[in-house]
Amino acid sequence: MKILVYGINYSPELTGIGKYTGEMVEWMARKGHEVRVITAPPYYPQWKVNPRYSSWRYRREEGEAIVWRCPLYVPKQPSTLKRLLHLGSFALSSFFPLMAQRRWKPDRIIGVVPTLFCTPGMRLLAKLSGARTLLHIQDYEVDAMLGLGMAGKGTRSSVVKLASAFECSGLHNVDYVSTISRSMMNKARQKGVAGEKVIFFPNWSEVDRFRDVTAAEALALRQHLGLPEDKKIILYSGNIGEKQGLESVIDAASRLTHQPWLFVIVGQGGGKARLEKSVSERGLSNVMFLPLQPYDVLPALLKMGDCHLVVQKRGAADAVLPSKLTNILAVGGNAVITAEKQTELGQLCTCHPGIAVCVEPESVDALVSGIEQALVMPEINTVARDYAGRTLDKDNVLSQFIADIRG
């Protein structure tokens, strides 16, 4: 098939949506599909364009897929309005290379959300070229914004209503809608999408790669990073933004200074400087910050963790399913997940006892208790590892997705 992938995040971003979109395109190209990509220069999770790229120039790249990089506005400190301007700028600049694909005549157009602002152009190209369209929901933008209180009362009646209208129009006027969890599929149906149009397309893991990492590899990385060998590692790896609520991790660390445990926070994002300042002001010696690590060392990094933190604020767990969890499960890690019981993450823990420790969001007491529980679990979590092997294997997930969109 000729497949056009259209979304704001893409390789070489190392985390989140860009990572998965890049892996998807690479896999499709290897399987013989002709793939093109329209995207932006890499900027996430630092919210700063990679210095090898430009925010203001178009760029064409050739490899396994032809990639067009389109200009966009990247705010240093995203707010509701600035984020909408950011998404809108990409929708506008990408419209022109998108329309240029009319001559190529793609068979399928896959729009990766965010951003919903791109859906009108995507639908127009489909009408001109005869392609079928699919919106892949990695993040319900409007729900995440409202659930986290990012939109103030003054903006709700205008900005949020406009965003909601775009969401409705996008979801109702494409051929398929796919998303990464069962609860997010239900949410699509609640928003009026016909059930037969909804496809389950979860984030995946390279299960064999994570399952087979050795203790020696983890020890070597631990020594390379300068982490003491006599302390338990409580690991958070990923984006350091607003929806994670990592302030509670710092609060937990301040209560656990008497324990031989080290909180290691690995990653980048808009909230990192604030957290570093909090740790410095409190004089905490049991918290260490590290930059985002290359993907090649991620299996060893996760193997190194004695307890993994999958932390989100209340209200975010069904709008955004954290991508980091798939690889934690694959490595057999013991995770503490902050999520309400009725959410996808909460139900995962209920339906698969022992897969992780689920605790109340935004509660330091609950987080401390969860960490204590995780640290006495078996070193290798076989429930988590077996679940990943059954349901999250990369080849299985992507093969099923291609089968679903061929119909």
Q: Which comes out higher in pLDDT, residue 152 or 97?
A: 97
How large is the average pLDDT for residues 245-266? 96
* Residue 122 contacts residue 133 (beta carbons within 8 Å): yes
**Do the bridges between strand 59-62 and strand 66-69 make them parallel or antiparallel, or are there none, so unpaired?**
antiparallel
Residue found under tokens 């990247």: 74
**Cβ neighbours, 10 Å, residue 332:** 21
How large is the average pLDDT for residues 221-240? 94
CA 263 to chain centre: 22
User: Largest Cα–Cα distance in the chain?
Assistant: 66
**DSSP notation for 342-361:** TSHHHHHHHHSTTS-EEE-T
**Do the bridges between strand 198-200 and strand 232-237 make them parallel or antiparallel, or are there none, so unpaired?**
unpaired
**Cβ neighbours, 10 Å, residue 204:** 25
CA distances from 343 to 137, 142, 287, 338 (A): 17, 18, 30, 10
How large is the average pLDDT for residues 131-147? 82
pLDDT for 69 equals 98
> Which residue, among 199, 74, 73, has the nearest Cα to 133 in the 3D structure?
199
Task: Tell whether the torsion through CA atoms of 254, 259, 260 and 263 is positive or negative.
Answer: negative
Query: Does residue 111 register a pLDDT over 60?
Result: yes
pLDDT for 169 equals 79
In angstroms, the CA 193 to CA 177 distance is 8
Amino acid type, 283: G
Q: Is 10 left (phi over 0), alpha (psi -120 to 50) or beta?
A: beta
How large is the average pLDDT for residues 267-295? 92
pLDDT for 156 equals 52
In angstroms, the CA 325 to CA 338 distance is 12
pLDDT for 319 equals 59
pLDDT for 219 equals 95
pLDDT for 108 equals 98
pLDDT for 312 equals 86
> Which residue, among 44, 175, 19, 163, has the nearest Cα to 111 in the 3D structure?
175
H or E stretch at 280: helix 272-282
Q: Which comes out higher in pLDDT, residue 158 or 335?
A: 335
In angstroms, the CA 160 to CA 169 distance is 14
How large is the average pLDDT for residues 272-290? 95
pLDDT for 153 equals 52
pLDDT band at 295 (very low <50, low <70, confident <90, very high): confident
How large is the average pLDDT for residues 289-293? 93
pLDDT band at 240 (very low <50, low <70, confident <90, very high): confident
pLDDT for 147 equals 57
* Residue 326 contacts residue 388 (beta carbons within 8 Å): yes
pLDDT band at 245 (very low <50, low <70, confident <90, very high): confident
How large is the average pLDDT for residues 168-175? 88
pLDDT for 15 equals 82
Q: How does pLDDT run across 297-356, given as a tens digit for each residue? A: 999 999 999 999 999 888 766 656 677 899 999 999 999 999 998 888 898 999 999 999
In angstroms, the CA 384 to CA 335 distance is 9
pLDDT for 90 equals 97
Query: Does residue 183 register a pLDDT over 80?
Result: yes
Query: Does residue 54 register a pLDDT over 60?
Result: yes
pLDDT band at 114 (very low <50, low <70, confident <90, very high): confident
* Residue 333 contacts residue 305 (beta carbons within 8 Å): yes
In angstroms, the CA 121 to CA 126 distance is 9
Name the DSSP letter for residue 294: P
pLDDT for 117 equals 86
How large is the average pLDDT for residues 166-189? 88
> Which residue, among 329, 379, 373, 375, has the nearest Cα to 352 in the 3D structure?
329
pLDDT for 143 equals 74
In angstroms, the CA 32 to CA 399 distance is 13
pLDDT for 315 equals 72
Residue 122's Cβ-side half-sphere holds a number of Cα atoms within 13 Å equal to 34
H or E stretch at 36: strand 34-39
How large is the average pLDDT for residues 81-103? 93
> Which residue, among 302, 375, 301, 365, has the nearest Cα to 336 in the 3D structure?
375
In angstroms, the CA 165 to CA 194 distance is 18
Greatest mean pLDDT among 15-19, 169-173, 374-378 lies in 374-378
**Do the bridges between strand 261-266 and strand 307-310 make them parallel or antiparallel, or are there none, so unpaired?**
unpaired
Query: Does residue 160 register a pLDDT over 70?
Result: no
